[in-house]
Amino acid sequence: MPDLIQIVTAALASATERSGAHLVCRPGCTQCCVGVFPIAHEDAARLREGLASLTQTDPEKFGRVNQRVQKSLTRLDPWFPGGRDPGDPTTYGILSEDEQSTILFEEFANDEPCPVLDPATGTCDLYEHRPIVCRTFGPPMQTPGDEGETNLATCELCYIHATTEEIAACELDPAIPALEAASNQAFNAAHNLHGETLIACALRPTSASGL
């Protein structure tokens, strides 16, 4: 399978070029960095790889990210709708998939900033290792709608003055969700994993307590 990151990067470059001034995403705009969201274990692995690399390239930044992760975990506990026992790596930080937990997650930590976000600069400290959802958010992208239909979702700050036709012309490659799902499924099968997690849980220091 072609490298998913390369596919997404090329698709985003194409959508950005077609979008022109309608796509207003820029460094310092952090609206999409506030409020927790689920990520796949493959995303989590990339984030951990990026954080580990900071121990060599920028130890001070590594320390700041770790501090924000621990503070975030403290705030997220005890309402996290999933595994909270740090002594059980098979369930810790994995979102529960039952109906009640799904409902709880819809209102969970909507004001919690991403721990990878540098509040001083408004930029991502692990930008090159960010999850797929972070890479694709902004341009028009197909999302499931009612009764099996699909909608083109965009960042609410972008495409404000674009027509329906202009938005459709800027759509991100519609094959990406299926490619991402297949990649995640293969990764989970290879590592005996299931479900989804959060960025803070994925980056939990081994010495951290909390969830």
**How many other CB atoms are found less than 10 A from the CB of residue 49?**
12
Q: What is the pLDDT of residues 8-57, one digit of tens each?
A: 999 999 999 999 999 999 999 999 999 999 999 999 999 999 999 999 99
CA neighbours closer than 13 Å in the CB half-sphere of residue 176 = 24
Provide the pLDDT confidence category of residue 211 given band limits of 50, 70 and 90: very low
Q: List, as one string, the DSSP characters of 78-133.
A: TT-SBB--TT-TTTBTPBP-SHHHHHHHHTSSTTPBPTTEETTTTEETTGGG--HH
The reported pTM is 0.91
Number of H helices, E strands in the chain: 8, 4
- As a dihedral over the C-alpha atoms of residue 82, residue 142, residue 10, residue 38, rounded to 10 degrees, the angle is -10
Span 165-192, average pLDDT = 96
State the greatest distance between any 2 C-alpha atoms of the chain, in Å, as a whole number: 52
Length of the chain: 211
